[in-house]
């Protein structure tokens, strides 16, 4: 398949068939969705997931150090919060360019570019002493780290078919959401004992440690570059291991019918049309809003915790950091249980409809993939919305802090599960451009999250803790229920309509 494709050929390209057993060869053997072995798939996914950890960690690692930063730089807490807001704005924009282009150029060079920018930004942040420098370098830090979120999800979509995608994306999203929960713990310890500048030296060192295995072992996975993994990438896009030891499963272009054949190599294309197609598709937009709405609630809760714990219980930054461990436990529980549930539900529905679970979803548009992916959303949203409202009023009257730990566990489960289900579904319905789909998810959720982050503390101080959490529960959680119902009811019909329109245009 050439790097430059038409919209029709892109969506129906054999290299993007969403199956484990896509077609029968002349010898009667099946063609696997990916040539990578199962162990290799998980190792690749874990490496990509660990790389994506730097973005949410960077966004939240100094949540517990906001007060020391404000005092040292002689600015208000709200002004320091703006560094989170600007970070999230760039977190929304930069994946549009880097992650989306990785669909053509490849995941590996995109990861390496991100790490280069990120390490340089952290060195600058560790040395700066002015608010303006902090603000500007945080933007560069975000530009380097943020695309890794979409890249990691795209890697999972490159190597995992629909029947396994829930579990693989569960690993990816677990680390992405664990990042902002463990980061405040590290930030609190570092700022308390070594000063807040040490936070950025820590991030720089972590990035170098993560870069080493990526540079030496991480292979290219983009199906526009290596198809199912059996086509050798260009020499400059190979890991050190691949340069030393040629992979035995690589095929020559003559042996692989879908090998990219562009004589000039991969060509960068404008990513905006692809994003526009996703954003203007009604079904995709509503799924994006479901994810983004939950992220609004996530960041409203997380950015308010340091202020609430300090004013209500007198917690310092280190004590507040430990509180996020309960949230982290919830994300871990959700990541693996939700992913396993999604895969089980997919196989169960396929058996019920007498459909081979290995069949390409694009060939069976009547398959209710929306119900399979979202049927757990409604009970989770209802329980979480109620919990948030109760949580706010308990804080209003300063009930014992033990309840906060229990509720943070629920919030962590909700944060991971909704994002996991929504992202899996988006990649199911846009299999030809997983990085673009991931970048679009990032664009919507981060822009909405940035707005909420900037407004959280002023709004909470104005209307009070109880009423603030009432608003979060109603608008960021309960309001998602009708959208989920709409997608579950109309999704299959809309996918079938899109498929007919695409076929007619071809």
Q: How many CB atoms lie within 10 A of CB 135?
A: 18
Would you state the pLDDT for residue 5? 39
Would you state the pLDDT for residue 286? 92
Would you state the pLDDT for residue 144? 92
Query: Does the pLDDT value for residue 400 go beyond 60?
Result: yes
Alpha carbons 321 and 313: distance in angstroms, whole number: 14
How would residue 379 be classed by pLDDT, with cut points 50, 70 and 90?
Answer: very high
Would you state the pLDDT for residue 263? 39
Query: Does the pLDDT value for residue 352 go beyond 80?
Result: yes
- The domain locations on the chain are 31-226+233-245+271-356+365-505
pLDDT (average), residues 203-214: 92
Across 296-305, 390-399, 433-442, 483-492, least confident range: 433-442
pLDDT (average), residues 3-13: 37
Instruction: Give the three-state DSSP class for 258.
Output: coil
Would you state the pLDDT for residue 358? 66
Contact 437, 278 (CB under 8 A): yes
Q: Per the structure block, which two tokens stand in for 4?
A: 């430059």
Alpha carbons 70 and 65: distance in angstroms, whole number: 9
Q: What is the pLDDT of residues 418-429, one digit of tens each?
A: 888 888 888 888
Would you state the pLDDT for residue 7? 39
Across 233-237, 359-363, 446-450, 470-474, least confident range: 359-363
Q: Is 74 left (phi over 0), alpha (psi -120 to 50) or beta?
A: left
pLDDT (average), residues 279-297: 88
Q: What is the pLDDT of residues 228-287, one digit of tens each?
A: 777 888 888 888 888 887 665 566 555 554 444 443 445 555 667 777 878 888 888 999
Would you give the DSSP letter of residue 63?
G
Q: Which residues contact 161 (CB under 8 A, 6 or more apart)?
A: 18, 19, 20, 33, 34, 358
Alpha carbons 106 and 103: distance in angstroms, whole number: 6
How would residue 12 be classed by pLDDT, with cut points 50, 70 and 90?
Answer: very low
How would residue 362 be classed by pLDDT, with cut points 50, 70 and 90?
Answer: low
Closest of 220, 183, 230 to residue 57, by C-alpha = 183
Closest of 426, 305, 333, 232 to residue 60, by C-alpha = 305
pLDDT (average), residues 467-472: 91
Residue showing tokens 């975000």? 142
Q: Is the domain 31-226+233-245+271-356+365-505 a CATH 1.20.1250.20 member?
A: yes
Would you state the pLDDT for residue 14? 37
Q: What is the pLDDT of residues 80-137, one digit of tens each?
A: 878 877 887 887 888 878 877 887 888 999 999 999 999 999 999 999 888 888 889 9
Q: Per the structure block, which two tokens stand in for 250?
A: 């690589």
Residue showing tokens 């002689």? 74
Q: Could you tell me the pTM of the whole model?
A: 0.69
Q: Calculate what percentage of the chain has a pLDDT beyond 90.
A: 14
Closest of 392, 382, 406 to residue 330, by C-alpha = 406
Q: What is the pLDDT of residues 89-101, one digit of tens each?
A: 887 888 878 877 8
E strand segments, 377-469 = none
Would you state the pLDDT for residue 287? 92
The dihedrals phi and psi of 249, each to the nearest 5 degrees, come to -85, 0
Closest of 335, 345, 340, 479 to residue 416, by C-alpha = 335
Query: Does the pLDDT value for residue 18 go beyond 60?
Result: no
Pairing of strands 21-24, 30-32: antiparallel
Closest of 282, 372, 429 to residue 290, by C-alpha = 282
Alpha carbons 460 and 430: distance in angstroms, whole number: 39
């Amino acid at each position: 398949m050439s790097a430059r494709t038409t919209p029709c050929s892109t969506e129906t390209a054999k290299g993007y068939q969403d199956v484990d057993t896509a077609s029968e060869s002349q010898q009667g053997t099946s063609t696997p969705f990916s040539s990578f072995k199962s162990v290799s798939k998980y190792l690749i996914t874990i490496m990509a997931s660990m790389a994506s950890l730097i973005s949410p960690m960077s966004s939240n690692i100094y949540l517990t150090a906001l007060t020391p930063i404000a005092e040292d730089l002689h600015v208000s807490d709200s002004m320091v919060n703006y560094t989170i807001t600007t970070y999230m704005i760039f977190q929304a924009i930069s994946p549009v360019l880097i992650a989306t282009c990785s669909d053509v150029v490849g995941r590996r060079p995109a990861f390496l570019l991100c790490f280069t920018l990120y390490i340089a930004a952290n060195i600058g942040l560790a040395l700066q002493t002015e608010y303006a420098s902090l603000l500007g370098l945080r933007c560069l830090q975000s530009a380097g780290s943020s695309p890794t979120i979409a890249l990691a999800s795209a890697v999972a979509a490159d190597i995992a078919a629909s029947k396994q995608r829930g579990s693989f994306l569960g690993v990816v999203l677990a680390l992405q959401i664990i990042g902002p929960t463990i980061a405040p713990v590290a930030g609190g310890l570092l700022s308390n004992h070594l000063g807040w500048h040490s936070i950025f030296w820590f991030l720089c060192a972590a990035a170098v440690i993560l870069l080493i295995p990526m540079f030496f072992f991480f292979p290219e996975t983009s199906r526009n570059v290596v198809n199912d993994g059996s086509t050798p990438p260009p020499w400059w896009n190979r890991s050190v291991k691949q340069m030393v030891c040629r992979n035995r499963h690589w095929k020559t272009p003559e042996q692989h019918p879908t090998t990219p054949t562009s004589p000039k190599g991969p060509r960068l294309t404008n990513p905006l049309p692809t994003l526009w197609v996703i954003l203007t598709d009604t079904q995709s937009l509503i799924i994006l809003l479901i994810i983004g709405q939950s992220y609004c609630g996530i960041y409203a809760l997380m950015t308010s915790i340091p202020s609430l714990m300090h004013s209500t219980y007198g917690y310092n930054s280190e004590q507040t950091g430990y509180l996020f461990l309960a949230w982290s436990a919830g994300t871990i529980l959700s990541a693996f249980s939700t992913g396993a549930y999604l895969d089980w539900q997919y196989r169960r529905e396929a058996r019920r409809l007498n459909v081979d679970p290995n069949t390409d979803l694009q060939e069976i548009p009547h398959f209710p993939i929306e119900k399979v992916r979202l049927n757990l959303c409604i009970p989770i949203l209802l329980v979480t919305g109620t919990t948030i409202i109760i949580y706010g009023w308990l804080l209003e009257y300063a009930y014992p802090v033990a309840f906060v730990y229990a509720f943070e566990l629920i919030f962590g489960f909700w944060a991971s599960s909704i994002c996991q289900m929504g992202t899996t579904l988006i990649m199911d319905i846009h299999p030809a451009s997983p990085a673009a789909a991931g970048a679009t998810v990032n664009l919507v959720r981060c822009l909405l999250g940035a707005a909420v982050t900037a407004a959280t503390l002023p709004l909470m101080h104005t209307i009070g803790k109880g009423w603030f959490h009432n608003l979060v529960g109603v608008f960021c959680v309960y309001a998602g229920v009708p959208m989920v119902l709409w997608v579950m009811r109309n999704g299959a019909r809309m996918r079938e309509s899109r498929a007919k329109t695409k076929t007619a245009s071809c």
